[in-house]
A and B are shown apart, each in its own frame.
Chain A
């Protein structure tokens, strides 16, 4: 299978990437328990006291008897602020392989701890990590992903296991996030007289205001019919074709959001009104009076759609 096919769909069951991931997982699991470095500090009172204080845990048994809260097991072998280089576990390779094929999201799903006994003051614990299992790909609410499971065991100096933890994470492919577009800086003034027009534009309709009494069309929209002075308004949907009645080629001054030179035209509609709009999809020198144009709706940003005019095919 070609590498391109893998990249296109790395998590599909049976694809070579999916097979590679499972093969790697089996290989890592076969390593068995891999010992890490011993804890920097032995089980000690200040860290226990600090932990109890932060948790709000007033159980006196730990400091009275010189034992560590069992849920602190992992704390003893946590790396500090500056992660020690060269610490490498069988889990790391699986995680990196998943990252490399796009399963970059991670969320822990299960944490199961078994305490064989409580760790005692002065004991220096060592962790050992074993990769258990990779399951997937599976569809999840977060996206497609693999469940990776491993077990950490904490040993005393004698080698005795004090505690162990099964930990499972979902490594998922984050769904592509829509990148919000830069808002287009020129916004039309939308008011109660003009809202119907912009509502239409969003639906791909070129709406022209009409008088609900005499039927006369008018554009731009206004509150009163200039013909019969009625305030009753309606609209008609124009066919979307027109001809250039007049135009300007704008070179200067600069207009935010526009790249000069650009053409703004007055377009005469066969319905009988004229409408102002930009001419797109042709160089300015190709625009002329009488040119046949057709409306086109341009998504300017995430919200704004503007009607513009493009040359009509003859």
Chain B
């Protein structure tokens, strides 16, 4: 399986985009897989009663998807050190979440990827993922 080594990553490298269709199934299955049973993540009526447009992604899933987005690109040998996310607009069911990313720093073996997850309302999550890749063979 393809996996990146440290010397294969250049500053400014652009990650392939990842677009995720936020079907109700995605929103609900991820909420349950993260053990988050707050009604706004699975109950449309409950979410609307609280003033939300629909059910929306929970934060544990946002973190999980950011992680997945970056490791989709690095391959399995990466070790994730940190994920910092600034949370923006909700990612509602029925919307589409588009991840983009750029390598913004490579310093003493640690690579930082700036990640942006956009939905139709704007930025859902922006932040950085710091990771370590295996050194050159």
A residues sitting closer than 8 Å to B (CB atoms) are 47, 50-51, 53-61, 64, 69-72, 74-75, 78-81, 107-115, 118
Contacts and interface: CB of A to CB of B under 8 A. Distances in A.
B32 to A, nearest CB: 7
Given A54-B32, A59-B71, A115 B82 contact: yes
Given A53-B33, A54-B29, A55-B68, A71 B59 contact: no
A47 B71 CA distance: 19
B133 to A, nearest CB: 13
B64 A57 contact: yes
B76 A55 contact: no
A72 B71 CA distance: 14
20 contacts: A50-B33, A54-B32, A56-B20, A56-B68, A57-B72, A59-B72, A59-B76, A64-B76, A69-B64, A70-B80, A71-B60, A71-B63, A71-B83, A75-B34, A78-B35, A80-B35, A108-B87, A109-B87, A111-B85, A113-B82
Interface of B: 1, 20, 26, 29-30, 32-37, 59-68, 71-72, 75-77, 79-87
Contacts of A50: 33
A130 B4 CA distance: 37
A80 B35 CA distance: 7
A57 B87 contact: no
Given A51-B33, A55-B65, A78-B34, A60 B76 contact: yes
B76 A54 contact: no
A76 B67 CA distance: 17
B33 A70 contact: no
Nearest to B74: A59
Nearest to A72: B64
Contact of A54 (B30, B59, B62, B87): B30
B34 A51 contact: yes
Contacts of A72: 34, 64
A80 B32 CA distance: 10
A55 B1 contact: no
A51 B61 CA distance: 9
Nearest to A40: B35
Q: Summarize A's interface: helix, strand, loop or mixed.
A: mixed
B17 to A, nearest CB: 14
A55 B30 contact: yes
Contacts of B79: 118
A114 B82 contact: yes
A110 B86 contact: yes
Contact of B59 (A47, A53, A56, A108): A108
B85 A55 contact: no
Contacts of A57: 64, 67-68, 71-72
Contacts of B62: 111
Contact of B64 (A51, A79, A81, A114): A51
Nearest to B1: A60
Nearest to A82: B37
B59 A111 contact: yes
B132 to A, nearest CB: 11
B35 A75 contact: yes
Nearest to A77: B35
B68 A59 contact: yes
Leading 3 A-B pairs by shortest Cβ distance: A78-B35, A54-B33, A61-B76
A114 B77 CA distance: 18
Nearest to B125: A111
Contacts of A51: 33-34, 64
B80 A111 contact: no
Of the candidates A50, A78, A113, A114, the one having the most CB atoms from chain B within 10 angstroms of its own CB is: A113
Given A56-B68, A57-B68, A81 B37 contact: yes
